[in-house]
């Protein structure tokens, strides 16, 4: 798995992209919980929510938020090198939050994004990832009426940071954005490909931050 992810990271750094498109089904509402953890995985990342970030972050959140009932949702998008991948994830994440919010009026959300998944989350909260590695223009944003229900935004290896951008505005105080030293996906001039694969170690810190926001 490590070799495959290294190759994926190298492909991202090279800027390779195809033109294949994949249709994603409409999001459906799940059983209501106190907090729905919505995770957008990285390019080619295996695992339920994402082996490097999503799964360990969800596990850490379960330990930190012991007084809350949690559910999770894996953003259904290609997470590949196609030109429309991040845009599809952006639309699907917003669809899911919309449907969940309507079905569960008291539910709040924690958004998690790793690598290309961070682009997906960025776009969904109104910060364009266009021009970033496997980024895209914004195609949908979480409605303003639902913004207060997004408790925390947890980002890892966020490609917009290599452009000198970050999350600003409404969500800034609710966002933590990890970029490992030398990670070429989020650090302009970074050369340590393996740094992009090490964000599991930040899961506890991310969960601790989220716990202060819910």
Q: Which of 115, 124, 129, 136 is catalytic?
A: 115
CA-based end-to-end distance of the chain: 34
Q: For residues 183 and 191, is the Cβ–Cβ distance under 8 A?
A: no
Q: Active-site residue 130, yes or no?
A: no
- 150 bridge partner residues: 109
* Cα–Cα distance list, 48 to 5, 58, 154 (Å): 16, 10, 17
Q: Which of 55, 124, 129, 196 is catalytic?
A: 196
Q: Active-site residue 98, yes or no?
A: no
Largest CA distance in the chain: 45
Q: Active-site residue 115, yes or no?
A: yes
Q: For residues 89 and 120, is the Cβ–Cβ distance under 8 A?
A: yes
Q: Where are the alpha helices (DSSP H) in the chain?
A: 2-13, 54-64, 85-103, 116-124, 203-211
* Cα–Cα distance list, 60 to 65, 74, 102, 203, 206 (Å): 9, 16, 27, 6, 8
Q: Which of 36, 122, 183, 202 is catalytic?
A: 183
Catalytic residue numbers?
A: 115, 183, 196
């Amino acid at each position: 798995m490590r070799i495959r992810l290294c190759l994926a990271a190298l492909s991202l750094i090279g800027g390779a992209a195809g033109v294949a498109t994949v249709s994603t089904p409409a999001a459906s509402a799940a059983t209501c919980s106190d907090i729905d953890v919505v995770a957008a995985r990285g390019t080619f990342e295996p695992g339920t929510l994402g082996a490097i970030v999503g799964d360990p972050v969800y596990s850490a959140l379960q330990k930190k938020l012991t007084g809350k009932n949690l559910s999770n949702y894996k953003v259904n998008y290609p997470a590949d090198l196609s030109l429309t991948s991040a845009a599809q994830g952006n639309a699907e994440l917003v669809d899911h939050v919309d449907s969940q919010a309507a079905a569960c009026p008291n539910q709040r959300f924690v958004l998690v994004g790793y690598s290309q998944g961070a682009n997906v989350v960025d776009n969904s909260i109104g910060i364009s990832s266009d021009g970033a590695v496997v980024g895209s223009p914004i195609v949908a944003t979480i409605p303003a009426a639902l913004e207060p229900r997004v408790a925390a935004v947890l980002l890892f290896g966020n490609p917009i940071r290599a452009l000198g951008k970050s999350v600003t505005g409404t969500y800034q105080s609710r966002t933590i954005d990890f970029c490992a030293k030398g990670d070429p996906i989020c650090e302009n001039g970074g050369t340590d490909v393996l740094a992009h694969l090490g964000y599991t170690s930040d899961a506890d810190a991310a969960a601790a931050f989220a716990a202060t926001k819910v």
